[in-house]
Chain A
Amino acid sequence: MSVVALFFYLFATITVASAFMVIASRNPVHSVLFLILAFFNASGLFMLMGAEFLALILIVVYVGAVAVLFLFVVMMLDVDFAELREGFLQYLPIGGIIGAVLAIELILVLGSYTIDADTARVAVQPIPDMAETSNIKALGDLLYTRYIFFFQMAGMILLVAMVGAIVLTLNHRPNVKRQNIADQVARDPDDAVTLRGVKSGEGI
């Protein structure tokens, strides 16, 4: 067994085990922490396949930002764990069906390469040999030329979602004092201080 295979089984086992623990652990914060462990090991798997850029972006985006916000929200929620588990049997059939559909789709997508060897030729835009180009260059070339419209579309969707979230939560309250930095910076002694000559014993 080569070292790569050894690492693959190590990462794969931990990924699957921590993914199981995400749904099995009693404490939601522990669930998110196991999710982070799963992300980590998935990025290890990417790394083994030579997709370094994807591996590191997975860590930066999912672990470094998305999971932080997850953890942020989950920590703030006061979840009653017993109540959460009550409907387990009731929702089991629906959950099972969704899981089965996902599993079948994954098997079809990944299995199509073995079912029909031509799929790989049709579906994949050939990229240059990895010896000539780097990971990040090959991805950039594809994203910004062949898939530019999909890429832009995804960006637009994210932008609209962001604007929507801001519009929904924006709440202009009157009578709230806010700091205006420009005003503060523009302030000078002439309009802030007045000098008065006060005579002794008289006051202003």
Chain B
Amino acid sequence: MFESEFFLTYVAPPLWMLAQSVLMLVLLLVTVAYILYADRKIFAAVQMRRGPNVVGPWGLLQSFADLLKFVIKEPIIPASANKGVFLLAPLVAGVLALSAWAVVPIADGWAVADPNLGLLFVFAISSLEVYGIIMGGWASNSKYPFLAALRSAAQMVSYEVSIGFVIITVLLCVGSLNLTDVVNAQRDGLGTMMGAPNSLLDWHWLALFPMFIVFFISAIAETNRPPFDLPEAESELVAGHMVEYSSTPFLLFFLGEFVAICLMCALTTILFLGGWLPPVDIAPFNWIHGAVWFVLKGLFVFFCMAMVRSIVPRYRYDQLMRLGWKVFLPLSLFMVFLTAFVLQFMGWA
């Protein structure tokens, strides 16, 4: 049976892909559980509190306790809600956030799928994540969620523009939208030109420095993290688009949000921090497997995001729009021109 052509062409590849996806999903969910824990611990440490410390040793099982709590509670659907869309919204948020991970390479060749336009795929998926919020906000049929939906629609469309331009500058430097190519292109760069061995000086964060900052801030805005968490600003909108949600639908929203944050960390790592490449390509560092470096870099980016969350006060809405349209858009547009000019002028294209 196992040698038959039918099995090899139609049954085996989907099964193999399914197994890979399940493995990715499990690892991702465990990561999210501990990212969530780390987020709360960092936030607590900055405010000189202890943070979660009751469930399990040092509170390590807190996220799993939360999961259990969400699943056991009763899902409540408001009487005046648009029931179908109300239940569809958290599904859209959760599924879209997870699906982008299909193309993320953790190490060389370690991706469920590695399509030619992987970067564009991730960008497309992240531009769709706004739908969960809009649909949830509208279907709840209540004031605060609706305001949150309107805010988030405008915010995410604005910051996608600058993310798009950042991706274009990276595309100009790499010449490919394949995520594996993007990482491999960072093996050689500014550092090797100056005679250094392959090191962290070659990665794009140095060569495209302003864009690294623009991407980092836009990533925070795109995932609705503080200081740009206006769609769910507790002090104004209670919990924004999630006001009417409880139990598993709320869990899905929450999960989608944190998976999207992990995705943005991974994407920052791939685009600017050399993906799975070791910081210096000499003996003790290149013994360690690339996946370890990838995870460490991703966690570093997340740590920076968590620090921004705990230190920077929330932006006012007009300030957020000003930053997106009047600062980042001209800056990133200028950088696209500059990068193209330098590449053409120096003959590196």
A interface with B by C-beta (< 8 Å) = 3, 27, 29-30, 33, 36, 52-53, 56-57, 59-60, 63-65, 68-69, 71-72, 75-76, 134-136, 179, 181
Contacts and interface: CB of A to CB of B under 8 A. Distances in A.
B177 A68 contact: no
8 contacts: A29-B138, A53-B117, A56-B121, A59-B128, A60-B123, A64-B124, A71-B153, A75-B138
A71 B134 contact: yes
Interface residues of B, number: 31
Contacts of B130: 64, 68
Contacts of A134: 116, 176
Interface string B154-177: 101100100010000000000011
B63 interface: no
A68 B159 CA distance: 14
B344 interface: no
A71 B146 CA distance: 12
Contacts, number: 70
Nearest to B123: A60
A5 B146 CA distance: 42
B4 to A, nearest CB: 16
B319 interface: yes
Contacts of A71: 134, 138, 153
A63 B128 contact: yes
Contacts of A56: 117, 120-121, 123-124
A161 to B, nearest CB: 17
Interface of B: 10, 82, 85, 115-117, 120-121, 123-124, 127-128, 130-131, 134-135, 138, 146, 149-150, 153-154, 156-157, 160, 164, 176-177, 318-319, 322
Contact of B131 (A36, A52, A136, A179): A36
Nearest to B126: A64
B116 A135 contact: yes
B322 A64 contact: no
B103 to A, nearest CB: 11
Contact of B85 (A33, A60, A68): A33
A52 B116 contact: yes
Contacts of A36: 131
Nearest to A36: B131
Contacts of B157: 64-65, 68-69
A17 to B, nearest CB: 16
B305 to A, nearest CB: 23
Contact of A60 (B82, B115, B127): B127
B116 A29 contact: no
A29 B124 contact: no
B7 to A, nearest CB: 14
Contact of B319 (A3, A27, A135, A179): A179
A33 B156 CA distance: 18
A181 B117 contact: no
B153 A72 contact: yes
A11 B146 CA distance: 32
A65 B160 CA distance: 9
Contacts of A181: 322
A169 to B, nearest CB: 15
A63 B131 CA distance: 9
A25 to B, nearest CB: 11
Contacts of B135: 33
Contact of A64 (B115, B127, B154, B177): B127
A62 to B, nearest CB: 10
B56 to A, nearest CB: 40
Given A135-B116, A136-B117, A179-B318, A68 B124 contact: no
